[in-house]
Chain A
Amino acid sequence: MEMTGAEITIRCLQEEGVEYLFGYPGGAVLHIYDALFQQDKVKHILVRHEQAAVHAADGYARSSDKVGVALVTSGPGLTNAVTGIATAYLDSIPMVVISGQVPTFAIGEDAFQEVDAVGITRPCVKHNFLVKDVKDIASTIKKAFYLAKSGRPGPVLVDIPKDVSGHKTEFIYPASVNIRSYHPQGRGDSALIRHAAQMLLEAKRPMIYAGGGVVLSDSSAQLTDLVRLLGFPCTNTLMGLGGYPANDKQFVGMLGMHGTYEANMAMQHCDVLVAIGARFDDRVIGNVEHFAQVPRKIIHIDIDPSSIAKRVKVDVPIVGDLKLVLTELLEVLRASRQKPDAAEMAAWWKQVDEWRATGGGLRYKNSSEIIKPQFVIETLHKLTGGDAFVTSDVGQHQMWAAQYYKFNHPRRWINSGGLGTMGFGLPAAMGVQLKHPGETVACVTGEGSIQMNIQELSTCKQYHLPIKVLSLNNGYLGMVRQWQEFFHGNRFSESYMDALPDFVKLAEAYGHIGMRIDNPADVEPAMKEAFSRKNDLVFMDFRTDSTENVFPMVPGGKGLSEVVLAEDL
């Protein structure tokens, strides 16, 4: 039977098992919306801005092992989606974005709502397609899902001109995909894995550094087994939090610019470092030359060869699927009669524990007068037992959430680590809540970030998403203010936000519950009240100390051991 391109598009999504499609209609996708209307397998979530559609699909993907899917129209629909696509790209999130395009005969004529979608998104997608023939829709969408999910995941854009979605052809969904130019690595090189195992067994000051790749490849169990088998300290990057349980004694906390003193010092002074699904980025190891001053052997395991030896020289590069590589590494280690030297390990742990004590781990001075933002996060952790899904926006609140909420499970911490997109938190929480109905989803945000996608409170109302929004409102773009305090002589250029709305009334206007919390004593009762409202979105406007800074801090361009601790100031 012949079907239109639009019907084929929706059928493909059904075949891929897509539950939710996040989107916004417009001229170039009218055929597709018409096809969507005439079925009920794929549920459409109507957002209020295309950026939010992509972030919601992103949150859905991050909190599950599925591909997030978004649908936007041509021109401004697509350009609005670009920030969301770039966000997913920088964090390697599997996603398929379908965009409408002007009809093929109008392409290149500067037609109404025309933009070169493939050209605009090229640098921020894993791959993209312009479908020029209705016969190619099914095979292209099949490829898009395969590319998005396999290898190093990432967003894939499929641009469909309006006439193509209107034309008819036979629907045949390919059973398999073969792309002759694309062969993601599966198993790692066995000789290198054995070499790595030997290096680990002979290490005197070993360190395990695990990133977002562990979460994306669902390898937390293998990582945990490895860390425990060897007895080594383990750190997670911002993207890797939850990849190793935070309440475990071998966990030394997050590393990097706002990482713990012990994690950064151990990273700097170890003699054998194994990097697992992490990429030594500038926010993680700071100054590359400073990092290289201390000699250490580096084993780097990653699915993407281009992540290896990009910023630091690596001694043992292992390209492969983390789960397969870690499983093989564990087998080799278990089969070996050799064990890490107990005396060396004891000495190393003594050193790590000393760093823990001197650095003080994470510390802040609580107050009974004014709400400390860290206290809000600690209370959130306490009340949710560390089991909530926590999304965040970008800035100080993001760092405090990463530091003070102890994630014991992967896929619970949902934040824009690579691109650092303000406005990510609320729409991402929508995707998470839809994927996990009945679970607690908290969006930690600030009064700056939340206003970048606040219109989504309307979407939350439409679909009854009982997200708990915790806004740490200090009146400032806090991270900007902090850098201005440290590096720009207290000249707070445009980081103060005057004329903020009354967030309680705003929440109420959208049909939700709003709470304003001014006193530290009210933090816990208010949060308890909010979490008891299982079916309501509650917007908590916490008025927090505007002078509070995020510590520890490795200033930009400095080395990991050149950290500034709270008491240094």
Chain B
Amino acid sequence: MRHIISLLMENEAGALSRVAGLFSARGYNIESLTVAPTEDATLSRMTIVTSGSDAVIEQITKQLNKLIDVVSVMDLSEGEHIERELMLVKLRAEGEAREELKRLTDIFRGRILDVSDHTYTIELTGSRVKLDSFIDAIGRDLILETVRTGASGIGRGNRILKL
């Protein structure tokens, strides 16, 4: 099953490689991994999207907690949460398709960031499923380039991952 694991860790050189190394050394999957400092510059917040049986996810959580630099770990998918991912897509936009592509972008609540004679560059934010749907709707023939950040996640309501 797909899980979104959030963690707070010391914002120190090498901390990311400890997490990435753990996943490769123990053969765990990583679908995506995002990381950036928090409002407290000494801490980084990481969101890892992974998959595995309950036993594997339990081990992943425990092994992450065992890393000395990791301050706290939460499996967001155990409760209500919000997941967002940012995607930039460059499309071939020529002739009549230009209007249709703009309409689709509006429907998906995307924004056109850059326009040239032959291309649109679109920004889209949402869950993985929404971004995938947009790609399907456009059709792969028109896609010149995509770049995705991987998911960031946060718990709903009082579910807070703090120091």
Contacts and interface: CB of A to CB of B under 8 A. Distances in A.
B65 A305 contact: yes
Contact of A306 (B10, B66, B69, B163): B66
Contacts of B69: 127, 181
B81 interface: no
B133 to A, nearest CB: 38
Among the interface residues A130, A179, A305, which one has the most CB atoms of the partner chain B within 10 A?
A: A305
A180 B21 contact: no
A105 interface: no
A180 B66 CA distance: 13
A119 B69 CA distance: 15
A157 to B, nearest CB: 12
Contact of A182 (B17, B62, B68, B163): B68
Contact of B21 (A123, A126, A181, A182): A123
B71 A180 contact: yes
A430 interface: no
A118 interface: yes
Interface in A90-123: 118-119, 122-123
B55 A118 contact: no
A304 B17 contact: no
Interface residues of B, number: 21
Given A126-B68, A127-B68, A306-B62, A180 B163 contact: yes
Interface in B52-72: 55, 58-59, 62-63, 65-66, 68-72
B53 to A, nearest CB: 12
Contacts of B17: 119, 122
Given A119-B17, A130-B14, A309-B55, 15 more contacts: A122-B17, A127-B68, A127-B69, A130-B13, A147-B68, A179-B68, A180-B71, A181-B70, A181-B71, A181-B72, A305-B65, A306-B59, A306-B63, A306-B66, A309-B58
A181 B163 CA distance: 9
Contacts of B151: none
Interface residues on A, range: 10 to 19
Contacts of A304: 66
B14 A118 contact: yes
A310 interface: yes
19 contacts: A118-B14, A119-B14, A123-B21, A127-B69, A130-B13, A130-B14, A147-B68, A179-B68, A180-B71, A181-B10, A181-B72, A182-B68, A304-B66, A305-B65, A306-B59, A306-B62, A306-B63, A309-B55, A309-B59
Nearest to B18: A122
A181 B62 contact: no
A123 B71 CA distance: 19
B45 to A, nearest CB: 14
A310 B59 contact: yes
Contacts of B71: 180-181
Nearest to B13: A130
Interface string A474-494: 000000000000000000000
A126 B9 CA distance: 16
B25 interface: yes
A309 B61 CA distance: 12
A289 B9 CA distance: 37
Given A122-B18, A309-B55, A181 B68 contact: yes
Interface in B108-130: none
A305 B67 CA distance: 12
Contacts of A118: 14
A118 B68 CA distance: 14
A122 B17 CA distance: 9
Nearest to B62: A306
Among the interface residues B25, B55, B62, B63, which one has the most CB atoms of the partner chain A within 10 A?
A: B62
A519 B73 CA distance: 63
Contacts of A310: 59
B79 to A, nearest CB: 21
A305 B62 CA distance: 7
Contacts of B72: 181
Contacts of B58: 309
B27 to A, nearest CB: 13
A180 B68 CA distance: 9
Contacts of B18: 122
Interface in B21-70: 21, 25, 55, 58-59, 62-63, 65-66, 68-70
B121 to A, nearest CB: 35
Nearest to B63: A306
A122 B65 CA distance: 16
B32 to A, nearest CB: 22
A301 to B, nearest CB: 16
Contacts of B21: 122-123
Contacts of A119: 14, 17
A179 B9 CA distance: 12
A181 B9 contact: yes
Contacts of A179: 68
B161 to A, nearest CB: 13
The 5 closest A-B CB pairs, nearest first, are: A306-B62, A181-B71, A127-B68, A305-B62, A123-B25
A122 B25 CA distance: 11
B35 to A, nearest CB: 16
Interface in A340-356: none
Contacts of B163: 180
Among the interface residues B14, B18, B55, B68, which one has the most CB atoms of the partner chain A within 10 A?
A: B68
